[in-house]
């Protein structure tokens, strides 16, 4: 090969190598994720960097892929395990499956913890016994109000205590709400059949309460089974009311509910304005947000658990991750206050869509974390199997009500007595 040909080949190789390198770099740049712009915000003397990026994820739901907004939870520092929490006694998590009965599962779990705290032992109560009678009373109010009453599967914690006062309680072993061969709850057909019947009553102005309730009970018996008229404990038969009064001895009047809203004067009681408060209960103690939040922390530190009601339909909560935080692209932690919370409730970006049981407390760096026992499917899909970890900012912004024993908040209740004088 002559000298000129060798030089020509060498030049060609160099040019080819350069072109290949540029091409590869271009391809690499095209596939790289865009750099997230970090923003530093000055809050008083504090500089806060907005770290959370809004990202879209997909999840398969009922055989179909669904896109939803979330965050990268790998950047969140949190307790590593459920055992890292200072816990209040509670029974293991259970699933509500395909029902809108979180209100009953959460509050029943709360009352089971109370039974242990009060020295009554470890007793698993029937959620579905309470749910059965709640459906009956919802239908009754619908008929009495001639259709002008909210009809849905949801409810509130104080509905559980109200149903127990009226109908008593039974152990889980006495009434599961499952028919022979069933292992999972599913109320979709049950509720639709009740709704269709009550819609028929409204359309035809059929308001015979006795006959309507009898028909609703037939529907409930068809899907849940008939609730027991008696239960047997240690060889002794008793009614559900006798079981509540003589065995459980739960002081139902000692459980109080709190909220924090500006539409009711602070240190007075008022109505919690949410659809699931279908009987318009006005027994909610209203306090400023700082005291609302501190009462939650203090109660857990004293060994009392709480039943929460609040909003879990947010980008900052993930059942798959078992975590709940407020992303900085939503609101910075330092800006969470009475007004920002009120604004979200007013414009319905904070809704009362789930009830859960707060059973533990932990400290991680600059944040307080709450251990949540959750009957919803998402929590059981995640790494903590029926538990989630809620960060303090999420509790302040998104937990709208709580129920607790009055002794846990006696100092707060005293302010209501002072205000009334």
CATH number, domain of 251, equals: 3.90.70.10
Please indicate, yes or no, if residue 60 is contained in any of the structural domains: no
User: Given pLDDT bands bounded at 50, 70 and 90, which one contains residue 10?
Assistant: very low
> Of 32-36, 45-49, 220-224, 233-237, where does mean pLDDT reach its minimum?
32-36
Tokens 């060798």 correspond to what residue? 6
Stretch 382-409: mean pLDDT, rounded?
97
* pLDDT digits 0-9 by tens, 239-293: 999 999 999 999 999 999 999 999 999 999 999 999 999 999 999 999 999 999 9
Please indicate, yes or no, if residue 204 is contained in any of the structural domains: yes
Q: What is the pLDDT of residue 63?
A: 79
Instruction: Supply angle C-alpha 337, 339, 343, rounded to 5.
Output: 120
* pLDDT digits 0-9 by tens, 93-131: 999 999 999 999 999 999 999 999 999 999 999 999 999
Q: Which phi and psi angles does 349 have, rounded to 5°?
A: -90, -10
> Of 61-75, 227-241, 394-408, where does mean pLDDT reach its minimum?
61-75
Rounded alpha-carbon distances, angstroms, from residue 326 to 149, 315, 394: 34, 8, 5
Stretch 300-317: mean pLDDT, rounded?
96
3-state helix, strand, coil in the chain (%, to 5): 45, 20, 35
Res 21 pLDDT > 50: no
Q: What is the pLDDT of residue 348?
A: 94
Res 34 pLDDT > 60: no
Stretch 385-395: mean pLDDT, rounded?
97
Instruction: Give the range of the structural domain holding residue 121, as residue numbers without chain letter.
Output: 82-420
Q: What is the pLDDT of residue 420?
A: 64
Looking at the DSSP bridge assignments, the partners of residue 60 are: 65
Stretch 406-419: mean pLDDT, rounded?
92
CA atoms within 13 Å, Cβ hemisphere of 249: 8
Please indicate, yes or no, if residue 18 is contained in any of the structural domains: no
**pLDDT: which is higher, 329 or 12:** 329
Stretch 222-228: mean pLDDT, rounded?
98
Instruction: Supply angle C-alpha 276, 305, 254, rounded to 5.
Output: 70
The CA distance from 292 to 267, in Å, is 11
Please indicate, yes or no, if residue 50 is contained in any of the structural domains: no
Q: What is the pLDDT of residue 16?
A: 45
The secondary structure of residue 175, as a DSSP letter, is -
Please indicate, yes or no, if residue 29 is contained in any of the structural domains: no
Q: What is the pLDDT of residue 12?
A: 47
Q: What are 123's two structure tokens?
A: 């007793």
Stretch 409-414: mean pLDDT, rounded?
97
Please indicate, yes or no, if residue 215 is contained in any of the structural domains: yes
Stretch 313-324: mean pLDDT, rounded?
94
Please indicate, yes or no, if residue 67 is contained in any of the structural domains: no
Rounded alpha-carbon distances, angstroms, from residue 5 to 10, 12, 16: 9, 11, 16
Q: How many domains does the chain have?
A: 1
Stretch 65-69: mean pLDDT, rounded?
89
Please indicate, yes or no, if residue 280 is contained in any of the structural domains: yes
Q: What are 305's two structure tokens?
A: 């658990």
Q: What is the pLDDT of residue 47?
A: 65
In the predicted model, what is the mean pLDDT of the chain?
Answer: 90
Res 397 pLDDT > 70: yes
The CA distance from 120 to 46, in Å, is 49
User: Given pLDDT bands bounded at 50, 70 and 90, which one contains residue 62?
Assistant: confident
pTM, rounded to two decimals: 0.88
Q: What is the pLDDT of residue 27?
A: 43
Res 86 pLDDT > 90: yes
Q: Rg of the chain over CA atoms, in angstroms?
A: 27
Stretch 183-203: mean pLDDT, rounded?
97
Q: What is the pLDDT of residue 14?
A: 40
User: Given pLDDT bands bounded at 50, 70 and 90, which one contains residue 418?
Assistant: confident
Stretch 182-206: mean pLDDT, rounded?
97
Q: What is the pLDDT of residue 40?
A: 63
The CA distance from 327 to 373, in Å, is 22
């Amino acid at each position: 090969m002559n000298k000129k040909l060798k030089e020509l080949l060498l030049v060609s190789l160099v040019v080819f190598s350069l072109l290949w390198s540029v091409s590869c770099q271009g391809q690499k740049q095209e596939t790289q994720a865009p750099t997230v712009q970090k923003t530093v915000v000055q809050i008083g003397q504090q500089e806060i960097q907005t770290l959370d990026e809004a990202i879209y994820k997909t999840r398969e739901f009922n055989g179909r892929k669904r896109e939803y907004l979330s965050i990268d939870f790998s950047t969140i520092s949190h307790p590593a395990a459920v055992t890292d929490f200072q816990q209040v006694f509670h029974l293991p998590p259970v699933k509500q499956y395909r029902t809108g009965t979180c209100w009953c599962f959460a509050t029943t779990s709360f009352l089971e913890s109370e039974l242990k705290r009060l020295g009554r032992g470890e007793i698993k109560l029937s959620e579905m016994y309470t749910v059965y009678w709640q459906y009956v009373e919802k239908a009754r109010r619908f008929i009495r109000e001639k259709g002008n009453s909210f009809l849905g599967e949801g409810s509130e914690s104080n509905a559980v205590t109200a149903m127990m006062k009226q109908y008593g309680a039974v152990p889980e072993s006495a009434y599961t709400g499952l028919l022979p061969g069933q292992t999972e709850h599913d109320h979709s057909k049950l509720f639709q059949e009740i709704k269709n019947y009550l819609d028929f009553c409204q359309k035809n102005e059929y308001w015979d309460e006795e006959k309507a309730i009898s028909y609703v009970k037939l529907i409930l018996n068809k899907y849940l089974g008939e609730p027991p008229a008696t239960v047997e404990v240690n060889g002794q038969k008793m009614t559900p009311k006798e079981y509540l009064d003589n065995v459980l001895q739960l002081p139902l009047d000692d459980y109080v509910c709190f909220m924090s809203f500006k539409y009711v004067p602070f240190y007075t009681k008022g109505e919690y304005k949410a659809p699931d408060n279908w009987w318009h209960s006005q027994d909610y103690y209203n306090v400023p947000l700082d005291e609302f939040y501190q009462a939650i922390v203090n109660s857990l530190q004293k060994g009392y658990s709480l039943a929460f009601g609040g909003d879990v339909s947010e980008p900052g909560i993930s059942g798959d991750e078992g975590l709940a935080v407020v992303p900085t692209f939503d609101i910075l932690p330092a800006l969470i206050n009475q007004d920002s919370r009120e604004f979200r409730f007013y414009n319905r970006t904070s809704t009362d869509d789930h009830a859960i049981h707060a059973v533990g407390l932990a400290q991680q760096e600059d944040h307080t974390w709450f251990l949540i026992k959750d009957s919803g499917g998402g929590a059981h899909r995640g790494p903590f199997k029926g538990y989630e970890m809620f960060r303090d900012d999420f509790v302040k912004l998104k937990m709208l009500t709580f129920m607790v024993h009055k002794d846990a908040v006696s100092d707060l209740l005293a302010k209501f007595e002072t205000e009334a004088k």
